[in-house]
Amino acid sequence: MHNKHTALCLLASLCLVSACKRKDTKPVSQEPPSVPVVEVIQEDIPLQMTFVGQTYGSADITIQSRVSGFLTGIHFREGGPVKKGQLLYTVEPSSLSAQSAEANAALVNARTALTQAQANYDRIKPLAEMDAVSQSELDAAVAQLGSARASVRSAEASLRYANIQLGYTRIYSPVDGVIGPTNARIGDFVGLQSEIPVLNTVSQIDSVLVRFYMPYNDYLSILSRGENPPLTDIVLTLPNGMPYPYRGRFDFFGRAVTQSSGSIEVQVSFQNPDSVLRPGQFAKITANMGTLRGALLVPQKSVSELQNLYTVYVVGSDNKLSQKVVEVGPTYGELWVITSGIAPGDRVVLEGFHKVRAGMEITPVMTAVAAFPQNSRTEQRYTERDGMRYSAPPPANARDAASYPSQPARSFRSEDPQAVRTPAPANSHK
């Protein structure tokens, strides 16, 4: 009985304490979380696109033998430089030398016959004037002289042809350039009708051509802007990631649009004094296609993407968030061009999407964003859109593309992967 009374007293005390605690508890107000936000930037920016093309020599000339025969000599180092007029191959000349000798003998006979016909004409003509010989004898002498002269011309032409054919047994380089590996070896039967019609290829690489394909819609866009030249600030990126030190020059648009892809061929050219570029390699080309006026820019990390749907969090005047779907364009350094969905002056969340949600109130912390990323050495980034790769512009210290530089630089080494080599001074002798 005593224990029961004690338990009841203890229970009443606990209830009294709990009631007092509930009476003293007051709700604690929470401050809206601080979130970094940026203001949408509106600037004129260069519109650049990146393409993948292939390199060609300014002249890629196949070396073929015009006569058939066995190869008797190879007179160059494979893969090495050659000069215009340098002997490359010799083909067995025996049969053609015999034809030349035969044609020369025929010419001697023709000239002998011409001498005899001329003497006969010179003897008969004065006799005919004195009516000492008949007119028919004079006509025969004239005809014989004309035939002898024609025979001489024919023999001379045959000899020239035979000598030309004989000259084809010695094959020379048509241009200064670089020659490839030979397709035939000494002893092989070569010629247009043989199994080895092409002996080699010589490429002139003091300048290199790059050809790539541009979507026809982009071609129309360039024409509508009236840019001249259509492409500027043309930069080639080497396979090691470094930009090629010489800017490219726009050459031409192709003649026709390809039916399979609806694109048009474009050719640009690069000076290649150091022979760094070689025909046949793939080349990544970045070119300025004009200026995008009044572009709306936000940091790339302000845009979230899910299943090809791009969204940003916009901060309202009441500091509450709303999620908006946007259309994205090309990237510009660390920024992304937004073509629709936001307006100039809007504030968007910079980062921390996992902490926010639509309708949430925040304390915005304004963060500055560089409007001109080309002035800082930022990593060049690419994004896929509409089947094409867009890129940020090259560094501001890249060489001007107005004209080819007159002095090639000496080294391609650089600590900065974005650095572009500048030409050596004119008086440099390094």
Q: What pLDDT is attached to residue 381?
A: 35
Fold of 50-55+205-292: Elongation Factor Tu (Ef-tu); domain 3 (2.40.30)
CATH number belonging to the domain at 94-167, selected among 1.10.287.470, 3.20.19.10, 2.102.10.10, 3.40.50.2000: 1.10.287.470
Average pLDDT over residues 186-214: 93
- The answer to which of 83-87, 140-144, 347-351, 383-387 has the lowest mean pLDDT is 383-387
Q: What pLDDT is attached to residue 185?
A: 95
Q: What pLDDT is attached to residue 12?
A: 55
pLDDT digits 0-9 by tens, 338-388: 989 999 989 999 888 888 888 888 888 898 876 554 433 333 333 333 333
More confident residue, 30 or 354: 354
pLDDT digits 0-9 by tens, 91-120: 999 888 999 999 999 999 999 999 999 999
423, pLDDT greater than 50: no
Domain ranges for the chain: 50-55+205-292, 67-91+172-202, 94-167
Q: What is the pTM of this model?
A: 0.60
14, pLDDT greater than 60: no
The full 3-state SS of the chain, as one line of letters, equals CHHHHHHHHHHHHHHHHHHHHHHHCCCCCCCCCEEEEEECEEEEEEEEEEEEEEEEEEEEEEEECCCCEEEEEECCCCCCEECCCCEEEEECCHHHHHHHHHHHHHHHHHHHHHHHHHHHHHHHHHHHHCCCCCHHHHHHHHHHHHHHHHHHHHHHHHHHHHHHHHHCCEEECCCCEEECCCCCCCCCEECCCCCCCEEEEEEEEEEEEEEEEEEHHHHHHHHHHCCCCCCEEEEEECCCCCECCCCEEEEEEEEEECCCCCEEEEEEEEECCCCCCCCCCEEEEEEEEEEEEEEEEEEHHHCEEECCEEEEEEECCCCEEEEEEEEEEEEECCEEEEEECCCCCCEEECCCHHHCCCCCECEEEECCCCCCHHHCCCCCCEEEECCEEEECCCCCCCCCCCCCCCCCCCCCCCCCCCCCCCCCCCCCCC
CATH number belonging to the domain at 67-91+172-202, selected among 2.60.40.420, 2.40.50.100, 2.40.128.110, 3.90.79.10: 2.40.50.100
Average pLDDT over residues 151-177: 94
Average pLDDT over residues 12-36: 61
pLDDT digits 0-9 by tens, 264-312: 999 999 999 988 999 989 999 999 888 888 889 999 888 998 888 999 9
Tell me the pLDDT band of 395, cut-offs 50, 70 and 90: very low
253, pLDDT greater than 50: yes
Average pLDDT over residues 140-144: 92
